[in-house]
Amino acid sequence: MLISPTSLKRPDWVQIWAGGWSILSCSHFAEEYSRLIKFGDKFFLPESIIIIRRGKSEGWARQSDRDAICAHLATEVENDSSRAIEICRHLKTEADKMRSFMKENEAKTMGEQLYNEFWDRLVSYYQPHINVKYVVDGLSPERLEKLLPCFEDARLYAENVLNQTERFMEAMAEKIGRKEKLPWQLVLCCVKEEIISYFQIKKLPARSVLEKRDALFGIFCDQRRYAVYAGKSAERLVKVILMIDEKNILRGMTAYSGKIRGVVRVVIDPARCERFDIGDVLVSGMTRPEFLPLMKKAAAFVTDSGGILSHAAIVARELKKPCVIGTRIATQVLEDGDIVEVDADLGIVRKIK
């Protein structure tokens, strides 16, 4: 479906996650958000946008929709705190099932049936993952203080599951790529309908099409519409959601308070980080366990996305380092070598020079 990017202008697009998920995985995520993952009578996100550049991806939602699902999920926990234990237990159970499924099937040749089983299994995992991640942002301070250790424990237990699912998809893409003489990264530039079609007729989109998508690709989904964007239309979509209101000031949410000045180091992949000195400010889309050596050296953390149970927030509390999460655009407006003041007391990052 063709939907003009300009028709998607909203006053409150906010980045809710960032990572290394492919176009193929994101083509599933977008539909899951608005059509498959449901809490009672409420779908997770009525509208969502996902942007993918060279294998790096970021998910966007409307702040009003994010706030609404946080409040909805928190209601039953506020009324009955024992529900927190049930929610956390559910996430751990589904994490174990997801890991077991991947281990049992990692050596098998992927076909349509196994592919569909994998994504059905992932949806079952993703629902409690979202519940634990977002319920905390809707809880009252008193209830949150009491229940935060339980939620942190569950998130840490399931920390690597989604990264492991992407490795599972990469292994599938490597096998297809060898057969079709394509880099596996380009195989993952297919959308879900194209991979399912490949299982049936053994034909992928042209290499030129996949290469164009790899440079920049966008997906929009709501409960009625689904649209994809590449090239200039994807660039217009990015402009729609990247609205900078104040020059040299980024606003986010405080994960741990404190105030420092330091040199920016933008890190997307810690394995490729060439320089990071003690006292630098770590800026990333979001952090993962492999960021921990850098986080121990950093004076503060700043992320595009994340909530109070994000990896960056949990580590910031453990290490007692200032942390501002959910800035939306830190990795896009800050550069290596910039001097910034991280005022986590106010949830603000100021570019000094």
The b-or-e profile of 116-134 (16+ CB within 10 A means b, else e) is: eebbebbbbbbbbbbbbbb
DSSP string, 73-95: HHHHHHH-THHHHHHHHHHHHHH
Stretch 328-342: mean pLDDT: 91
- What domains lie within the chain, and their CATH numbers? 5-240 (no CATH), 249-351 (3.50.30.10)
Return d(Cα 323, Cα 315) in angstroms, integer: 9
- By CB atoms closer than 10 A (0-12, 13-18, 19+), residue 28 is buried
H-run or E-run covering 350: strand 348-351
Percent of the chain whose pLDDT exceeds 90: 76
**Distance in angstroms (rounded) separating the CA atoms of residues 213 and 174:** 18
pLDDT digits (tens, 9 = 90+) for 80-106: 989 999 999 999 999 999 999 999 999
Q: Which pTM was predicted?
A: 0.79
User: Between β-strands 13-19 and 56-62, what pairing exists: parallel, antiparallel or unpaired?
Assistant: antiparallel
Confidence (pLDDT) at 51: 96
Helix (H) or strand (E) holding 253: strand 253-256
For residue 247, pLDDT over 80 is answered with no
Span 258-266, mean pLDDT? 95
353, pLDDT greater than 80: no
Checking if the pLDDT of 244 tops 70, the result is no
pLDDT at 245 > cutoff 60: no
How many alpha carbons lie under 13 Å from residue 327 in its C-beta half-sphere? 33
The dihedrals phi and psi of 42, each to the nearest 5 degrees, come to -115, 120
pLDDT in tens, 109-161: 999 999 999 999 999 999 999 999 999 989 998 898 899 999 999 999 998 99
- The confidence score (pLDDT) of residue 317 equals 93
CB atoms within 10 A of CB 1: 8
Confidence category of residue 246, pLDDT binned at 50, 70, 90: low
Tokens for 59?
């998910």
Q: Is pLDDT above 90 for 243? A: no
Rounded mean pLDDT of 237-242?
Answer: 86
Give the tens place of pLDDT for each residue, 284-318. 998 988 899 999 999 999 999 888 888 999 999 99
Classify 176 as helix, strand or coil: helix
- Which tops the pLDDT comparison, 16 or 89? 89
3-state DSSP assignment of residue 48: strand
